[in-house]
Amino acid sequence: MTIELADAHAVRKPWGRADVSPWRADTPTGTKVGEIWFERPDPTSPRPALLLKLLFTNEPLSIQVHPNDAVARSMGFEHGKAEAWYIVSAHPHAGVGLGLTRRLGASKLRAAISDRSIAGLVHWKRVRAGDTVYVPGGMIHTIGAGLVLAEIQQRSDTTFRLFDHARDRDLHVENAVAAADTSLRDSTPAAQPLGNGRTVLVATSHFVLERIVIDPDCATVLDAPGETWILVLEGEAELGPVRAARGDAIYVEAERANLAAGNKGLTALIAYGGPEPRPVAWRAASGAAAAPPEHMARVMEAQA
């Protein structure tokens, strides 16, 4: 039974930002922070299967690909890397690259990487705050400048670069060609409202990502039988002994507890293992939530 306020670790990236407030205020002067990783506070704790991040882009990222599970295992890795992005904020005309404009065989993809024409083959999609994007393993992708996004992913850092904007970092041509499926394009499903302030943004075999909105001074019962991450986007959250504000994350496992909003309400992302959304939680009218009567719980689970 675990409820923990996650540790936030800033990660430097050449495409990051010097100022990532209000998400983090203690960034050293002159540091370009590209990512904030959320981890369990005790490094000796069991390693979670999912990794939650915030990304801040002042420049575009490299064009890259992650392997899917089958390809990753054939290369000697434990598993692949699928990920989903929730757009927190976006400058006008900001976008992400998802797949290529046309399908390429291995030899043509290798040539496009070699002559750098791959940069002109990426299929770009404009995004705005509140959008969600799913990136399965095998999809060539990139993230443009001017974005803050939250990412949930399989816990893997296996990344193969195809193009890197003259940053003088290594490319991984043969692994990228082996991992890429150039037929993949954006196939993010439409969000699914579930009621009680819940919206399923992405549901995959690896993870489910939801957005939850709780009115001021209200609460919901959070069922977290397995690994669960909560990222506060707006307002404040109280879960058991833990209080979290904007930019804080909570790790929960093997718990059923009241998730309460402060006097400004709560908007948060919740991520947990897939493939299906958990049954609809009961929402209290005000104050701390209490579990519904047993027969009501059965009715709501049957309707989920």
pLDDT at position 290: 40
**Contact yes or no for 288/217 (Cβ under 8 A):** no
pLDDT at position 196: 86
CA dist 274 and 249 (Å) reads 20
List CB contacts of 272: < 8 A, sequence separation 6 or more.
50, 207, 208, 224, 226, 227, 228, 229, 278
**Contact yes or no for 98/186 (Cβ under 8 A):** yes
pLDDT at position 283: 55
pLDDT at position 281: 59
Task: Point out the residues that are catalytic.
Answer: 161
pLDDT at position 27: 73
pLDDT at position 195: 87
CA dist 107 and 87 (Å) reads 34
User: Which pair of structure tokens corresponds to residue 27?
Assistant: 């960034």
**What domains appear along the chain, each with residue ranges and CATH number?**
2-179 (2.60.120.10), 192-303 (2.60.120.10)
- Residues lower than pLDDT 70 in the chain: 280-304
User: Model confidence over 156-177: pLDDT tens digits?
Assistant: 999 999 999 999 999 999 999 9
pLDDT at position 188: 94
User: Model confidence over 275-296: pLDDT tens digits?
Assistant: 999 886 555 545 544 444 333 3
pLDDT at position 292: 40
